[in-house]
Amino acid sequence: MQNFGKYLLFLKSLVTRGEPLKIIFKRTIDEAILIGINSIFIVALVSTFIGAVSTVQVSYNMVNALIPRSTIGFIVREMVILELAPTITSIVLAGKVGSSIAGGLGTMKITEQVDALEVMGINSTSYLVLPKILAALLVFPMLVIIAMFLGLMGGYIAGTVTGQLTAQEYISGLRIDFIPYNVVFALIKSFIFAFLISSISSYKGYYTSGGALEVGAAGTAAVTHSVIAVLIADFVSAQMLL
Can you tell me whether residue 179 is helix, strand or coil? coil
Can you tell me whether residue 71 is helix, strand or coil? helix
The pLDDT value recorded for residue 193 is: 95
Residues whose CB falls within 8 Å of the CB of residue 234, separated by 6 or more in sequence, listed in order: 83, 87, 189, 193
In the predicted model, is pLDDT for residue 14 greater than 70? yes
- Record the pTM: 0.90
Q: Please report, for the chain, the start and end positions of each structural domain, with discontinuous segments joined by +.
A: 20-241
What are the distances in angstroms from CA 152 to CA 78, 88, 111, 147? 10, 14, 46, 8
Report the alpha-carbon distance of residue 206 to residue 222 in Å, rounded.
11
Give the type of residue at 9: L
Over residues 181-189, the mean pLDDT reads 93
More confident residue, 119 or 242: 119
Which band of pLDDT confidence, cut at 50, 70 and 90, is reported for residue 226? very high
Among residues 176, 39, 165, which one has the least CA distance to residue 98? 39
The pLDDT value recorded for residue 201 is: 93
Residues whose CB falls within 8 Å of the CB of residue 110, separated by 6 or more in sequence, listed in order: 208, 209, 210, 211, 212, 214, 215
CA-atom Rg of the chain in angstroms: 21
What's the pLDDT tens digit per position in 190-203? Answer: 999 999 999 999 99
Report the alpha-carbon distance of residue 239 to residue 181 in Å, rounded.
15
Strands (E), the chain: none
What's the pLDDT tens digit per position in 17-58? Answer: 777 888 889 999 999 998 888 889 999 999 999 999 999 998
Over residues 145-170, the mean pLDDT reads 90
Residues whose CB falls within 8 Å of the CB of residue 174, separated by 6 or more in sequence, listed in order: 73, 74, 76, 77, 152
Q: Are 161 and 230 in contact (CB under 8 A)?
A: no
What's the pLDDT tens digit per position in 87-97? Answer: 999 999 999 89
Report the alpha-carbon distance of residue 85 to residue 51 in Å, rounded.
9
Which band of pLDDT confidence, cut at 50, 70 and 90, is reported for residue 1? low
Q: Is 55 exposed, middle or buried (0-12, 13-18, 19+ CB in 10 A)?
A: buried
More confident residue, 177 or 228: 228
Give the type of residue at 233: A
Among residues 212, 223, 19, which one has the least CA distance to residue 128? 19
